[in-house]
Amino acid sequence: MEANCVIQPWKRYVSVFILFSATINTLSAVTHYSIPEEMEEGSVVANLAADLGLDVKTLSRRKMRLDIIAKKKYLDVNKETGELYVVEKIDREYLCASKTATTCFLKLDATIENPIRIFNIELEIMDINDNAPHFRRDSIHLDISESTPTGERFSLNNAVDSDVGTNSVKTYYLSESEHFNIEVQTGRDGSKFADLILKKTLDREEQAVHNLILTAVDGGVPARSGTASIIVRVLDTNDNAPQFEKDNYNINIMENYPFGSLVVKLNATDIDDGTNSDIVYSFSLYTSEKAKGTFSLNPANGEIRVKEMINYEDFRIYDMEVIATDKGANSLSGQCKLTLLVTDMNDNHPEISIKSFQSPVKEDIAVDTVIAVVSVSDKDSGDNGKVDIHIADQLPFALRESSDNYYELVVSQPLDREKVPEYEITFTVTDRGSPPLSDNETTTLELLDVNDNVPQFPQSFYTIPVMENNAPGALLSSLTAFDPDLHENQYLVYFIIEKEIVNTSMSMLFSINPENGNLYALKTFDYEIEKEFLFHIEARDSGVPPLSSNVTVHVIIVDQNDNTPVIVSPWRAHGSVVEEKIPRSTDKGSLVSKVIAIDTDSVQNSRITYQFLQVTDATLFSLDQYNGEIRTMRMFSYRDPRHQRLVVIAKDNGEPALSATVTIKLSTVETAVKAYSDMTEVPLEYDIFSDLNLYLVIGLGSVSFLLLITILVTCVLKCQKPMPSKAAPPSRNSVISERNSTIADSTLVSNDAYWYSLFLAETRKGKLVVRQPVPKAGSRYIVSSLPRSTGLTETSDSAASTLQVRVYS
């Protein structure tokens, strides 16, 4: 670093300083310093106070300062030491960017006061190699034709360097290349530039693009450099002819190939570029008109397609030659040969012919019977002409080859028209070509019906409930059978299988419509006489021979509440009024009388209950609703009327309920009359006649008469078989109740009869007992009197007679 002082006249600054003080007469001098650029901040340039001859101690007091240049303060003075130092790094290229000189100065003014003095300072900024060469563009593009001769020059963009002198661009280097090198040139201003020289002929088809690297190096120490890429694109010339992939093509094509189908796509390539590589395809003169008429050639893409029908039988080989021509200025061309071999294909469908067919046939046709003969054929040859025939697997038929290409259709399984009435038989023939072709023929086989099915009833047993008292001719049920056969084999006739019941034929009780199986009743049924019928109905078809089946029919007669209860106790001599006498001294709870009614209906309808319909004094008597016992509820008083009238109604359990009434007229007497026993017998006086003596005589006579009849009946039963149809004359002590109001013989006996005894009443002559069975069909009630000698236990002192009621089924 050096300092040079240059004395200049002070008149240069007169115009400036005269404004501040008229006493300034100090001369100004220029102080010169030289420093390199990019010095670190704080670096000392020189001791400015010493160089200017100023006292360091007065710098602060005299307010020493430096000018600010371009809004930046690069330098400053240390007022303590008087040293000039760097405040901010100085970039020479920034300060002197527009200068063409090799030197760069920074001029400053230093000012102090008391008195005011101004010092001129000139600072030279020395250049250092702090900038590398660079190109204005990173890549340089060149288009060079492949026909360019060697030695041709191509100018390149030069590199620039902000540094000056030896630090600027010194030379250029090119990356290794067998086709190019460079030559460095020096301009008038001393700048360096390079020319690219072609040293070897280019071939675009060999290498279309060349990538080079150009490097610029400066003269600094150490040297700096910059690079740019050179992209050389080789321009094409039409120097290559189109070429096919192969010179000869052998192509197999099937006959009947579809119109427009692609046969082959020829591909010729031209390694040139642009229009030099665009190719047009065409047939040469060596291609026949037949080939041109059968096939089309796309000039743009080389596709050969089918234009007309290809028939193996007409033409088997097609020879063609195709030319590929480029579109260059001087067009070049290449050619290839094609041989198209037509392959025979399976284009004929097999045929089937039905020579004979038997339809309809009976469904019982024997297995292995021939029902059809068919023949097959195919116009093709080889495997294409071999034909296979088959039918559906699920059919009960089979095909059997009889001779060459002739087949028989036979029955393989038993046939059943009721399951399948007819068969659609499809004969399918298929050849062995690839792909195989097939044809089919369908025919219908109809089956004739055979009477091989018996009529079937939906049920094997029918239970038909019939309400008694039905109207004759009423429809009971429809017993319809089904026969799956056809026509006369399906027409059914219905019969009732004859069966006699008590010398009565079923056809007299029921009838059936022979056409539809409707079953009718021919008579009115009575549950009390007939309770059920069991017989068979047969359904027979009209086939030859006819087939039949039968079903069991169980007709159950359902009971109706059609019988009114019959009051059998107390016994009524005249009309429906019963007159009895009881002593006034009868105790409370004594049995006065007992009402017993019987009903010939079924158990449910014959269940009887009793109740008072009318009573003179409701506080005096009670009636048990289930057994009909009438008892005193208290003892008689003198206020009670002498005559008591009791009307008792006996109702059954039917819907609607039926009933019967009895009127009991009780007369109280002062004489001692023995009361009814609480156990089984209660004395009862019949006031039939007003004269008691006459009543006793008649009672004894009646008992004797009944005893005599009983003996006679016993003898008759021992001597002869009982006849249910015979009748005996009625008597006062013998009553026979029957639904048809006939008088039955009191001597009738049945093994089905069973008995139970009910206490009715007791007179002075005997006691009355009713033996009642559970009602059954055809029941008959027989009421008779038994004398005391029957062995019944007496319960009173008076004579007793027993009324017997027998019921026969």
CA distances from 745 to 563, 655, 726, 783, 784 (A): 22, 33, 6, 10, 11
Check if the beta carbon of residue 769 is closer than 8 Å to that of residue 759.
yes
Whether the pLDDT of residue 336 is over 50: the answer is: yes
The total of other beta-carbon atoms located within 10 Å of residue 582's CB is: 23
| Three-class secondary structure of residue 88 per DSSP | coil
Residue at token pair 């006699």: 500
Q: Which residue has the higher pLDDT, 249 or 315?
A: 249
Task: Tell me the residue type at 788.
Answer: R
Q: What is the mean pLDDT of residues 598-622?
A: 86
Report the pLDDT value the prediction gives residue 208, as an integer from 0 to 100.
Answer: 87
Q: Which helix (H) or strand (E) segment is 508 a member of?
A: helix 506-509
According to the per-residue pLDDT averaged within each range, which of 55-59, 135-139, 200-204, 336-340 is highest?
Answer: 336-340
Query: With the CA atoms of 13, 19, 21 and 25 taken in that order, what torsion angle do they form, in degrees rounded to the nearest 10?
Result: 20
Q: What is the mean pLDDT of residues 44-55?
A: 86
Return the minimum-mean-pLDDT range out of 80-94, 331-345, 390-404: 80-94
CA distances from 1 to 32, 35, 56, 125, 171 (A): 10, 7, 21, 12, 32
Distance, CA of 99 to CA of 92 (rounded, Å): 10
Q: Which residue has the higher pLDDT, 788 or 670?
A: 670
Average pLDDT of the residues of the chain? 78
Q: Which residue has the higher pLDDT, 12 or 35?
A: 35
Return the minimum-mean-pLDDT range out of 157-166, 279-288, 332-341, 664-673: 664-673
Distance, CA of 333 to CA of 802 (rounded, Å): 151
Report the pLDDT value the prediction gives residue 101, as an integer from 0 to 100.
Answer: 60
Could you tell me the maximum CA-CA distance found in the chain, to the nearest angstrom? 209
Q: In what order do the strands lie in the sheet with 4-7?
A: 4-7, 29-36, 117-126, 105-112, 65-66
Report the pLDDT value the prediction gives residue 720, as an integer from 0 to 100.
Answer: 60
Task: Give the tokens for residue 44.
Answer: 């000392």
Beta strands of 292-421 (E only): which ranges?
A: 295-297, 303-306, 317-326, 333-343, 351-357, 361-362, 370-377, 387-390, 397-403, 406-411
Distance, CA of 336 to CA of 320 (rounded, Å): 9
Q: Which residue has the higher pLDDT, 572 or 506?
A: 506
pLDDT in tens, 575-604: 568 888 888 888 888 898 898 988 888 778
Task: Give the tokens for residue 91.
Answer: 């970039």
| Three-class secondary structure of residue 306 per DSSP | strand
Nearest C-alpha neighbor of 594 from the set 492, 523, 667, 676: 676
Distance, CA of 235 to CA of 274 (rounded, Å): 10
Report the pLDDT value the prediction gives residue 546, as an integer from 0 to 100.
Answer: 92
SS3 readout for 680-718: CCCECEECCCCCHHHHHHHHHHHHHHHHHHHHHHHHHHH
Distance, CA of 716 to CA of 346 (rounded, Å): 112
Report the pLDDT value the prediction gives residue 601, as an integer from 0 to 100.
Answer: 80
Burial class (CB in 10 A: 0-12, 13-18, 19+), 744: buried
Check if the beta carbon of residue 279 is closer than 8 Å to that of residue 333.
no
Whether the pLDDT of residue 758 is over 70: the answer is: no
| Three-class secondary structure of residue 199 per DSSP | coil
Integer distance in angstroms from the first to the last C-alpha of the chain? 168
Report the pLDDT value the prediction gives residue 14, as an integer from 0 to 100.
Answer: 26
Report the pLDDT value the prediction gives residue 385, as an integer from 0 to 100.
Answer: 83
Report the pLDDT value the prediction gives residue 399, as an integer from 0 to 100.
Answer: 93
What are the φ and ψ backbone dihedral angles of 487, each rounded to 5 degrees?
55, -130
Check if the beta carbon of residue 527 is closer than 8 Å to that of residue 558.
yes
CA distances from 413 to 39, 410, 449, 451 (A): 120, 9, 17, 19
Report the pLDDT value the prediction gives residue 610, as an integer from 0 to 100.
Answer: 92
pLDDT band at 679 (very low <50, low <70, confident <90, very high): very low
Report the pLDDT value the prediction gives residue 263, as an integer from 0 to 100.
Answer: 93
Q: Which residue has the higher pLDDT, 695 or 41?
A: 41
Q: Which residue has the higher pLDDT, 798 or 193?
A: 193
Report the pLDDT value the prediction gives residue 599, as an integer from 0 to 100.
Answer: 85
Distance, CA of 661 to CA of 656 (rounded, Å): 17
Report the pLDDT value the prediction gives residue 100, as an integer from 0 to 100.
Answer: 58
Task: Tell me the residue type at 111.
Answer: T
pLDDT band at 335 (very low <50, low <70, confident <90, very high): very high
Nearest C-alpha neighbor of 123 from the set 176, 85, 80, 154: 85
Distance, CA of 147 to CA of 198 (rounded, Å): 11
The total of other beta-carbon atoms located within 10 Å of residue 656's CB is: 7
Whether the pLDDT of residue 553 is over 90: the answer is: yes
Distance, CA of 89 to CA of 66 (rounded, Å): 17
Whether the pLDDT of residue 762 is over 70: the answer is: no
Q: Are strands 317-326 and 361-362 parallel, antiparallel or unpaired?
A: unpaired
- What lies within 8 Å, CB to CB, of 395 at 6+ separation is 423, 425
Distance, CA of 795 to CA of 801 (rounded, Å): 12
Burial class (CB in 10 A: 0-12, 13-18, 19+), 777: middle
Task: Give the tokens for residue 755.
Answer: 């008995």
As beta bridge partners, residue 761 has 768
What are the φ and ψ backbone dihedral angles of 345, each rounded to 5 degrees?
-125, 165
Q: Which residue has the higher pLDDT, 708 or 746?
A: 708
Query: To the nearest whole percent, how much of the chain has pLDDT over 90?
Result: 27
pLDDT in tens, 60-111: 888 888 887 666 788 888 888 888 888 888 888 777 776 456 778 888 888 8
Report the pLDDT value the prediction gives residue 255, as an integer from 0 to 100.
Answer: 83
Q: Output the pTM of the full model.
A: 0.41
Task: Tell me the residue type at 460.
Answer: S
Whether the pLDDT of residue 771 is over 50: the answer is: no
pLDDT in tens, 261-320: 999 999 999 888 888 889 999 999 989 999 999 999 999 999 999 999 988 768 889 999
Check if the beta carbon of residue 232 is closer than 8 Å to that of residue 320.
no
Q: What is the mean pLDDT of residues 133-158?
A: 88
Return the minimum-mean-pLDDT range out of 91-95, 447-451, 470-474: 91-95
Distance, CA of 549 to CA of 497 (rounded, Å): 11
Q: What is the mean pLDDT of residues 672-699?
A: 48
pLDDT band at 708 (very low <50, low <70, confident <90, very high): confident
